[in-house]
Amino acid sequence: MTQKELSQLLKSMSIEEKINQLLQLSGSVYEETGVITGPVAQMGFDQNNMPAGSVLGIVGADKLKKIQKEYIEKHPHRIPLLFMADIINGYKTIFPIPLALGCTFEPELAEVSAAIAAKESAVSGLHVTFSPMVDLVRDARWGRVMESTGEDTYLNCCFAKAFVAGYQGNNVMDKDKIAACVKHFAAYGAPTAGRDYNNVELSERTLRDDYLPVYQAAIEAGCALVMTSFNTLNRVPSSGNKKIMREILRGEMAFEGVLISDWAAIEEMVCHGMAENRKEAALRALEAGVDIDMMTPCYTGNLKNLLEEGSITEKLLDESAMRILQLKNKLGLFENPYKDADSKEEKRWLLCQEHRESARKIASKSFVLLENENILPLKKEGEKLAFIGPYVENKWIYGAWSIFAEEKDCVSIKEGIIKKIGVTPATFALGCDVLDEGQKIADFASHVESKMTYKERESHLKDAVEAAKTADKVILALGEHAAQSGEAASRAEIRIADGQMKLLERVYEVNKNIVVILFSGRPLDLREVKKYAKAILVVWFPGTEGGNAIADVLFGDFNPSGRLAMSFPYSVGQIPVHYNEFSTGRPYKETEGTRFGSKYLDIPNEPLYPFGYGLSYTSFEYSRVIIDNTKLSFGGYIKASVQVKNTGEYEGEETIQLYIQDVSASVVRPVRELKGFQKVLLKPGESREIVFGIEEMMLKFYNIDMNYCCEPGLFKVFIGGDSRTQNSAQFYYE
């Protein structure tokens, strides 16, 4: 449709019809049973009265086509429904969780995974995914760090763009493409004390320097939707925050697409205490420019009244309704309301070999080797290996958001190992459960808990110790339960379960050659694990091909190359801990030996494993940083370079990281900030010159007057293999 036709359509719609476009309901109301239950029933809707303009959370080509057909037939203007869902790290073929993708330092892989997720979702009838989540995360207690690509603004910007490009391609109307929804605007990733849904307090400078650029990157990449966040930002709930939605998002950031509330977030303004009732909440949200009310009757129950009493204008309502119509039009739904939904294509593409191969490769690239005392890689022959732990046969290694994935489609570690080396050289044992006795965690649909009795626990532990006794090496697959991260899964103690620690200690008593494979949705406190393990390989939640990818890395068919996108704290007491902190007036190094330095008495300042860190089976050597000009002039460009050499025995990939420090400015600047990275594959003995261009825009920040600019002065350039590198040069910007 042309814009003119859309305007005519809007003109011909009744007030009720326009308001209905603004409601989103959960797809469960359309499930075949015809019985309306749960929140939708409580909202007063029934099968004959489902006024939504969009639905979320249902999938399947035939099912969605049927719903669409019936809906359009009933609709006075034959306006199609929008189908949306949370496709976070894949639809049926599951990729590593976003935090793991961040660790690849290869945004191209996020684009590939998003394109595959889009294709699988599109043929199953979806139009929109609630992804990417680009919230900057610095607190590992928050369960949703798994949905982010980590603690760094620049890295997250690169990934945000890549996700959007993968989902949307050049045009969301194209075959196999779906619209992306960047979330959660704004600053949801900074809840106080890491507790989900908690309030966020950020200075405007921090918000603008660190948090907003990532949403901006997604918007500049053409992201069709933005989702509001649950949190308050400096005491104002996002869904009613006119300043951030109208002034910043729509005004400064020039976002023209659909703004959708998070689940029930409009109504939650009542709980927050910023609205007395649903009516006031609806008023606040519409005034802020929130177009879609997800899962509450705030808009449908109140906008008409608000209009009639003159509290809102029809123009305001029209603006939102138009944006929704425009999105439907952008997707081509007026001409083809089914878009790519096709059950034959579902059979062909979902979990096809090509998608599985990508998932395997991407998973192996996301693993981070934290420790390796000459124990990895394993040998395919001549070593007696015992694979022990609750993750050896576990197939729920998808992460919290993989709501459409099925356990049966996953390759477990055991299956991956047997495929690689056959059954004979290895033994397998459970050892313990993921959760401890009595531990019960509410999950999305129900809850998870350990069903193992005390007797069973003792017997599994005994078997595991027996298996460990006779092995040359023990590979212990441990970690968090998938339900221990994700939404509403904050943790104050970020360690593996006591039962798993006990298993590790008991195995250590009989065999010191331990490799720990760690499953997790967040950085964990690994101090204890580190004491017992000769190698630690973090595999996050690796997805459908996890077992194969782990086997590839363990046996050296793939040399690990992942780098931490989020620091692993030494202990919870340091949190938030991130590499780009600010200098204090009493840096610890300078005051060492005296009482009055910025330090803890009981733990170090540094995280256990810092941002950008990760080992390889080979080693790399860096030359000193060479800078081609010590002066960067206005509008100019200088080059910083290093020679990187593979000094080990394996071919391997190195991630060369460029950090810049603004040594002195009108406000205190971070000790360093990531401004570039490159990955190179080097053969043993091979070396390569790596060149980074440095230009003005890389030096910009919000200065003392809140101007976004760069200030003249001294800058340091660091180039190395992680955020601690001291390999540096300096230049003046003038």
Query: Residue 130 or 568: which CB sits closer to ligand BGC?
Result: 130
C-beta closer to ligand BGC: residue 55 or 350: 55
Smallest gap from Cβ 542 to ligand BGC, in A, equals: 21
- Segment 36 to 65, residues that bind ligand BGC, using CB under 6 A: 56
Given the residues 210, 262, 291, 433, the one annotated as active site: 262
Q: What is d(CA 210, CA 701) in angstroms, rounded to the nearest whole number?
A: 9
What residue type is assigned to position 201 of the chain? E
Q: Which tokens in the block code for residue 734?
A: 């003038």
Minimal CB distance to ligand BGC: which residue? 130
Choice between 444 and 708, CB closer to ligand BGC: 444
Instruction: Write each residue from 165 to 184 as x if it is in contact with ligand BGC (CB under 6 A), else as -, in one continuous string.
Output: ------------------x-
* Chain centroid, CA 401 distance in Å: 10
Give the whole-angstrom CA distance, residue 97 versus residue 519: 11
The residues in 632-661 that bind ligand BGC, with binding defined as CB under 6 A, are none
449: Cα separation from own chain's centroid: 25
Q: Which is nearer to ligand BGC, 55 or 116 (CB)?
A: 55
CB of 489 to ligand BGC, least distance (A): 12
C-alpha torsion 508→510→512→518, nearest 10: -40
Interaction with ligand BGC in 260-289: which residues (CB under 6 A)? Answer: 262-263
Binding mask 62-101 vs ligand BGC (x if CB under 6 A, - otherwise)?
------------------------x---------------
Q: Which is nearer to ligand BGC, 28 or 623 (CB)?
A: 28
Output the smallest distance, CB 332 to ligand BGC, in A. 24
Q: Which is nearer to ligand BGC, 134 or 575 (CB)?
A: 134
Measured CA distances, 3 to 292, 590, 617 (Å) = 20, 64, 57
Contact pick of 31, 456, 472, 487 for ligand BGC (by CB under 6 A): 487
- Find the shortest distance in angstroms from Cβ 75 to ligand BGC: 24
For the range 470-473, what are the long-range contacts, defined as Cβ-Cβ under 8 Å and sequence gap of 24 or more? 470/384, 470/386, 471/384, 471/385, 471/386, 471/427, 471/511, 471/513, 472/383, 472/384, 472/385, 472/513, 473/375, 473/378, 473/383, 473/384, 473/385, 473/386, 473/511, 473/513, 473/514, 473/515
Comparing CB distances to ligand BGC, the nearer of 102 and 612 is 102
The footprint of ligand BGC on this chain (CB under 6 A) covers a number of residues equal to 7
Count Cβ atoms within 10 A of the Cβ of residue 38 and give its class: 0-12 exposed, 13-18 middle, 19 or more buried.
exposed
Nearest distance in Å: CB 551, ligand BGC: 33
- Cβ at position 408, least distance to ligand BGC in Å: 24
Tell me which residues in 96-155 interact with ligand BGC (CB under 6 A).
Answer: 130
- For the chain, report the end-to-end CA distance as a whole number of angstroms: 52
Q: Considering the complex, what minimum distance in angstroms separates the CB of residue 241 from ligand BGC?
A: 17
Going by C-alpha positions, the residue among 483, 485, 478 that lies closest to residue 434 is: 478
Strand partners, 568: 609
Q: Which strand (E) or helix (H) includes residue 83?
A: strand 82-85
Cα–Cα distances in angstroms (integers) from residue 9 to residues 2, 51, 79, 82, 231, in the given order: 11, 18, 9, 17, 36
Q: In the beta sheet, which residues pair with residue 704?
A: none
Structure-token pair, residue 497: 């379960």
Q: Which of 370, 379, 183 is nearest to 262 (CA)?
A: 183
Smallest distance, Å, CB 263 to ligand BGC?
4
Question: Taking Cα atoms as reference points, which of 79, 95, 111 lies closest to residue 180?
Answer: 111
Min dist. Cβ of residue 56 to ligand BGC (A): 6
| 299/428 with CB nearer ligand BGC | 299
What's the min distance (Å) between Cβ of 505 and ligand BGC?
38
Place of tokens 């401004």: 675
What DSSP state is assigned to residue 582? B
CA distances from 618 to 559, 584, 614, 652 (A): 8, 37, 12, 6
Q: Is 725 helix (H, G, I), strand (E, B) or coil?
A: coil
* Helix segments in 141-220, DSSP class H: 153-168, 204-206, 212-220
Please, which residue, 185 or 367, has the CB nearer to ligand BGC? 185
Q: How far apart (Å, rounded) are the C-alpha atoms in residues 411 and 554?
A: 15
Q: Residue 453 burial (CB < 10 Å; 0-12/13-18/19+)?
A: exposed
The least distance separating ligand BGC from the CB of residue 57, rounded to whole angstroms, comes to 6
Q: What are phi and psi of 726, to 5 degrees?
A: -105, 5
Q: Which is nearer to ligand BGC, 463 or 487 (CB)?
A: 487
262 belongs to the catalytic site? yes
CB nearer ligand BGC, residue 238 or residue 364? 238
Is 480 near ligand BGC (CB under 6 A)?
no
* Strand partners for 720: 657
Contact positions vs ligand BGC (CB under 6 A): 56, 86, 130, 183, 262-263, 487
Active site residues: 262
